[in-house]
């Protein structure tokens, strides 16, 4: 049997089809990166510095801002340097570490949306026990199992990717180490990797989405049946649903783009996958900052000063 050496160094060649025009991408992506850093940092600062914003919901919004601030850090600086100076190389270890960090931290977006849905459920459907249920030690019973689930599924996905042999090519057609983009370069069977990847999407994202939708169905049903006025609480619910819908649409498009490859340009697939990671980091803080009255007031005051 012929001895085949597996690649240990890879080239991130996202948008390589653009050739000499590739450096032009530095400007739009750097603008989005700066918007993400500024908006999330401002939102995080306002919530932390104002004691009046230390309510459970505002703390959760600050948690989302922290996730949105951290996630682009794992891939955008390297991507921008790649556009500007053509620095595309990354080791297999670095690739796997980046993959784990992106998927692990990204999983907290879904986790925080679940937490926010539970917060709104207790605030609207069980208002008398809201503060009792939202005590951190008691509420962690709901969240710790979900965090353990994220760690286990992401560790399994990344570990399986690390066992593959990459003997055909070392050019990853992406701007960062996306799981399917790396797995496609393997020279052996990747059926288990594909199956585990689908399982991770279902166990993490789909189950969270079903739980969130079920929570808001119960919330709206409770409000309609009781006829009580909960305009402020429902306004917050609409904000969460808007954020969730935008994130879900981009995630589904990015996910399906790797399963429907016929006639779809590689640059389009890379674009949607990159937007799935970067766009919510720009969109979420603006939506939460503008649609949450208490936070909006303090943001405007901070900017005015």
CATH number for the domain harbouring residue 108: 1.20.1070.10
Residue 287: C-alpha distances to residues 3, 25, 43, 61, 280 (Å): 55, 25, 11, 11, 10
Could you list the residue range(s) of the whole structural domain that residue 224 is in? 9-304
Burial of 305 (0-12, 13-18, 19+ CB in 10 A): exposed
Q: 91, 259, 106, 104: which is closest to 162 by C-alpha?
A: 91
- 138 occurs within a structural domain: yes
Contact 108, 205 (CB under 8 A): no
- 42 occurs within a structural domain: yes
Residue 225: C-alpha distances to residues 124, 125, 219, 234, 242 (Å): 12, 11, 10, 14, 24
- 82 occurs within a structural domain: yes
Element at 21 (helix H, strand E)? none
- 2 occurs within a structural domain: no
Q: How many CB atoms lie within 10 A of CB 126?
A: 12
- 40 occurs within a structural domain: yes
In sequence order, which residues have a C-beta less than 8 Å from that of residue 261 and are 6 or more positions away?
Answer: 269
DSSP calls for 201-262: IIIIIIHHHHHHHHHHHHHHHHHHHH----HHHHHHHHHHHHHHHHHHHHHHHHHHHTT--T
Instruction: Please give the structure tokens belonging to residue 283.
Output: 């969109």
pLDDT in tens, 232-264: 556 667 777 877 777 777 777 777 776 665 567
**Is 0.75 surpassed by the pTM of this model?**
yes
- 4 occurs within a structural domain: no
In angstroms, the CA 170 to CA 12 distance is 9
- 52 occurs within a structural domain: yes
Total domains, the chain: 1
Give the model's pLDDT for residue 263. 64
Instruction: Please give the structure tokens belonging to residue 279.
Output: 């766009």
pLDDT in tens, 15-35: 988 888 899 999 999 999 999
Digitized pLDDT (tens) for each residue of the chain, 305 residues in all: 345 568 889 999 989 888 888 999 999 999 999 999 999 999 999 999 998 898 888 888 999 999 999 999 999 999 999 999 988 999 999 999 999 999 889 888 888 888 888 888 888 888 888 888 777 777 777 778 888 998 999 999 999 999 999 887 889 989 999 888 899 899 888 899 989 988 888 888 888 888 888 988 888 888 777 765 555 556 667 777 877 777 777 777 777 776 665 567 778 888 888 888 898 899 889 888 888 888 999 998 988 87
3-state secondary structure (DSSP) of residue 67: helix
Beta bridge partners of 91: 9
- 3 occurs within a structural domain: no
Residue 105: C-alpha distances to residues 118, 167, 281 (Å): 20, 30, 12
Contact 104, 150 (CB under 8 A): yes
Instruction: Please give the structure tokens belonging to residue 94.
Output: 């670095």
In angstroms, the CA 193 to CA 4 distance is 21
Residue 67: C-alpha distances to residues 70, 108, 111, 166, 211 (Å): 5, 7, 11, 32, 21
């Amino acid at each position: 049997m012929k001895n085949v050496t597996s690649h240990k160094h890879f080239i991130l060649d996202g948008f390589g089809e653009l050739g000499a025009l590739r450096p032009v991408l530095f400007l739009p992506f750097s603008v989005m990166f700066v918007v993400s850093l500024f908006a999330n940092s401002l939102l995080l600062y306002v919530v932390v510095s104002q004691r009046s914003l230390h309510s459970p919901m505002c703390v959760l919004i600050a948690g989302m801002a922290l996730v949105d601030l951290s996630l682009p850090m794992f891939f955008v600086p390297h991507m921008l340097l790649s556009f500007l100076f053509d620095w595309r190389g990354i080791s297999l270890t670095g690739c796997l570490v980046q993959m784990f960090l992106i998927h692990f931290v990204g999983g907290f977006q879904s986790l925080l949306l679940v937490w926010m849905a539970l917060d709104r459920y207790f605030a609207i459907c069980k208002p008398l026990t809201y503060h009792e249920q939202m005590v951190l030690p008691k509420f962690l019973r709901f969240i710790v199992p979900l965090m353990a689930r994220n760690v286990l599924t992401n560790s399994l996905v990344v570990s399986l990717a690390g066992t593959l042999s990459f003997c055909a090519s070392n050019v990853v057609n992406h701007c960062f180490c996306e799981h399917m983009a790396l797995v496609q370069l393997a020279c052996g069977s990747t059926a288990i990797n594909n199956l585990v990847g689908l399982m991770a999407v279902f166990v993490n994202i789909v189950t969270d989405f079903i739980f969130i939708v079920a929570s808001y169905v119960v919330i709206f049903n409770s409000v309609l049946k009781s006829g009580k006025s909960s305009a402020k609480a429902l306004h917050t619910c609409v904000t969460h649903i808007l954020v969730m819908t935008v994130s879900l649409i981009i995630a589904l498009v990015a996910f399906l783009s790797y399963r429907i490859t016929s006639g779809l340009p590689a640059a389009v697939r890379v674009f949607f996958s990159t937007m799935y990671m970067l766009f919510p980091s720009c969109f979420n803080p603006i939506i939460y900052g503008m649609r949450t009255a208490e936070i909006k007031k303090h943001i405007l005051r901070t900017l005015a000063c």
